[in-house]
Amino acid sequence: MTEERKGELFIFGETVTWSLFPVITVLSYKSVPSMVSLAVSTFLSSIFFLVIALYKNKLHELKNLLLWKYVFGVVFFIGILFYSFYYFGLTLTTPGNASIIALFEVFTSYVLFHVIRKDHFSFESKVGAVLMTLGAIIVLIPNFSSANFGDLFILIATFCAPLGNLFQQKARQIASTETILFLRGILAAPFLFLIAYMFGQHLVWVEIKSSLLFLVLNGLIILGLSKIFWLEGIARISVTKANALGSLAPLFTLLIAWLVLLQTPTVWQVASLVPFFFGVLLLTNNLKFRHNKYGN
């Protein structure tokens, strides 16, 4: 199996686990304020990665000062800005709206990595990215309501993520995934608790206890396991391609809602399977456009 194929499989794994994120996060809001939920989940994820790093004897990587430089960039753009805007956005909009707006990250990543940094992105991959985005839009059209501040916060988050992913790619070249994510979580958590306090949100044990299951799931699965998949994936394929493949997440989110909440799939959702199918084939190089022998 090639490294690129491994990267694609890691991203598919991340996509499936990440699709749980909007639903679980909103469920945690029933008793825990948004930023407290984020801060607690982030702290739990850092403990998760600390255990793995200790088991694999990777903490010696923390001696590398260049790693700290890269991780501070990750903490700022993803650990603080991206997740803060996303969590605030979910308090003011629906998971469906958040999912479709988050797809704008495919575009912002393309601009940063392909237009500005000149990373290679084949024509087939470009068409595949468009089809993936189109599929997600078809899925979510019936759920998309009028724009509000929550939608705006999600949109702003999509501008922060590519910069954080750039630093994560650099960090992954010199350190293990578990060390990077432990450092990211343990550095971001205090800032997130401070932001929660500034917005009048306080850590109350009774509230934490009532939503502990959702906080643990977010900390260990969403901000834990899925982030391992993500870093391992973008260490092998481009961030732009990874984001395009991640466009499957909204479909998985709606399928989970169907199984858990008994919401029957619509015609729109079924129709979206067509561009999703061809988009995945193009992005994974299982479908190519024919080139003539003159290379035109």
Separation CA 254–CA 207 (nearest Å): 28
Q: Is residue 288 part of a domain?
A: no
Q: Is residue 292 part of a domain?
A: no
Total domains present in the chain: 1
Q: Is residue 126 part of a domain?
A: yes
pLDDT value of residue 122: 74
- Nearest Cα neighbor of 241 from 133, 97, 98, 99 is 133
Domain range spanning residue 115? Answer: 3-283
pLDDT value of residue 294: 45
Instruction: Identify the burial level of 13 via C-beta atoms within 10 angstroms of its C-beta, where 0-12 means exposed, 13-18 middle and 19 or more buried.
Output: middle
Q: Which long-range contacts (CB under 8 A, 24 or more apart) does 258-265 make?
A: 260/23
Each residue's pLDDT, cut to its tens digit, for the chain (296 residues) gives 888 889 989 998 988 888 888 777 777 777 788 888 889 999 999 999 999 999 999 999 999 999 999 999 999 999 999 989 988 888 887 776 777 777 777 777 777 776 666 666 677 777 877 787 777 677 666 656 555 677 788 888 988 998 998 999 899 999 998 999 999 999 999 999 999 898 888 888 887 888 888 888 888 888 888 888 988 898 888 877 787 777 777 777 777 777 765 666 667 767 776 787 777 677 666 667 765 444 44
Q: Is residue 289 part of a domain?
A: no
- pTM for the complete prediction? 0.75
Separation CA 24–CA 224 (nearest Å): 14
